[in-house]
Amino acid sequence: MDIIGDTNKTLGFPGSVHNHTDYSNLRLRDAIIKTEDLLWYAAELGHEVVGITEHESLSNHVKAEKIYREVKKKYPNFKLIRGNEIYLCRNGLNANNFNREYDKYYHCVLLAKDAIGHKQIREISTRAWHRSYMARGMRRVPTYYQDLIDVIGENRGHVIGTTACLGGALPTQLLRYRDSGSQELYERIIAWCEQMEWIFGPGNFYLELQPAANRDQRYVNRALIDIANTYHFPYIITTDSHYLKKEDKPIHKAYLNSQNGDREVDDFYATTYMMNTEELESFMGLTREELTEAYNNIHHIKEMCEDYSLMKPLKIPQLPWSEPFGAPAPYKWFDKIPYMKTFMESDYIGDHHLCDAISLALSKDKKLQTQEIYNAINECLEMTWISSEVNKTHWSAYYLNLQKIIEECWNAGTLVGCGRGSGVGFILLYLLGITQINPQWETTKTFAWRLTRKGSKVSYLW
């Protein structure tokens, strides 16, 4: 069996799915990594995946998505996973019944595999914050086991759970077992793992190893692998990053101590930074086979997690549209206005309705039946189609809504201006009766309007 020093390595560290940024400082000073620095540096290290798992906070997930879009352009194989590091405790724990002897807020990492999973971890987080309370200078945000059962257990398969750092329930109890040797405790440890696997569903619960700079972490790493091998639980390696690079450690230490006096940071936080494969493996003390197993499991998590968006999509309402009675079939114009064919092949009824309205306008005025007009219509339709794809909406609905609004204004006896601004340069608005100026018939092109597309972005040129 190969060991760490083997130079014939074929598989590198895919990346850590457990990391923190300065958004983890909501309750207590904890991390100094900027969100953009975490994503870009992970990609630059050659990592294929990175997870953001703040301490009971999901508040930077939208920001991370925007940054991720830019990183993805340069590193197409890179993936962002959004999650949360919760504080798991017994059901019913609160400020009035907390017992210092046996109650703890155990760390546990949740990773959203998809939009449903993210909704689930939002619900779990909301419950924790609703019951939060102040104790010993910080706000406690307890998550009950029943929360996991209620929210995840009803629809398993959308959230991955991992055992987190030495502050997690499993590592803490393994250290107790090391000191006591209690077989009863060990049996409870295995039962706990089986319970967590039941909560998250088969294949969605992972044991979490971390770079070992201290005796406790080294023991826990080996104990976790023994459990994995005996009881067939998958395991991964994470860096639980709190600062970006090794040289940032003194800054991180000063930051942690700047608010609450001296804290023990040298030992616990010694290896909590982003690492390349070589540096990570120097702290692990694992065989090549064990490292490969952990790396493969990280790859598996990456593949299970989808790219989804938290952005609210642009939704254009659908009003009662004007009916283009007497309009010739749009196919009459396909050879002259090719994009009309594209719109007619759409599965959205508004795209068809727009073509009918254009066809009616063209048939009613022979002065519009020129190649110059056809070209202008086709260009407007093309850019409308592109913008609809980019914005994941149907701009045809917007045009038709506006047409109906203007029509009702005229019917009510309201005066409507001939048009203003760049809209006057948009020939589709003229054909729909929204404006009364045909830009193709004007002697000046001051209002010329067009769209260009650069990559996935649409630019408006006035």
Domain ranges of the chain: 22-304, 330-461
Amino acid present at 113: K
- Residues in the chain predicted with pLDDT less than 70, given as ranges, are 1-10, 260-264, 421, 444-462
* 8-state DSSP, 131: T
215-231 helix and 169-180 helix, angle to the nearest 10 degrees: 100
- Tell how far CA 278 is from the center of its chain: 29
pLDDT value of residue 433? 92
Closest CA to 80 of 313, 311, 312, 301: 301
Q: What is the pLDDT of residue 218?
A: 96
pLDDT in tens, 38-47: 999 999 999 9
User: In the CATH hierarchy, which top-level class contains the domain 22-304?
Assistant: alpha beta
Residue of 93, 106, 21 lying closest to 64 (CA atoms): 21
Measured N-to-C along each axis, helices 395-411 and 371-391 cross at an angle, to the nearest 10 degrees, of 120
Please calculate the CA angle 333-318-381 and round it to the nearest 5 degrees.
Answer: 30
B/e letters for 380-413, b = 16+ CB within 10 Å, e = fewer, are: bbbbbbbebeeeebbbbbbbbbbbbebbeeeeee
Could you give the C-alpha distances from 368 to 359, 372, 422, 431, in angstroms and in order? 11, 9, 21, 9
Spell out the long-range contacts of 408-416 with Cβ–Cβ below 8 A and sequence spacing 24 or more. none
Exposure string (b/e) for 182-200, b if CB count within 10 Å is 16 or more? eeeebeebeeebeebbebb
Q: Given this model, what pLDDT does residue 4 score?
A: 39
The confidence score (pLDDT) of residue 18 equals 98
Helix (H) or strand (E) holding 159: strand 159-162
139 touches 132 (CB < 8 A): yes
Q: Return the closest-CA partner of residue 222 out of 278, 288, 171.
A: 171
Residue 52: CB atoms within 10 Å:
29
Return the SS3 of 3: coil
Given a contact cutoff of 8 angstroms between Cβ atoms, the answer to whether 383 and 458 are in contact is yes
53-95 confidence digits (pLDDT tens): 999 999 999 999 999 999 999 999 999 999 999 999 999 999 9
**Alpha carbon of 39 to those of 34, 338, 415, 433: distances in Å?**
9, 43, 54, 49
CA angle 220, 222, 223 (to 5 degrees): 60
Total residue length of the chain: 462
Contact present, 343 and 352 (Cβ < 8 Å): yes
Sign of CA dihedral 93, 95, 98, 103: positive
The structure tokens listed for 427 are: 């020939």
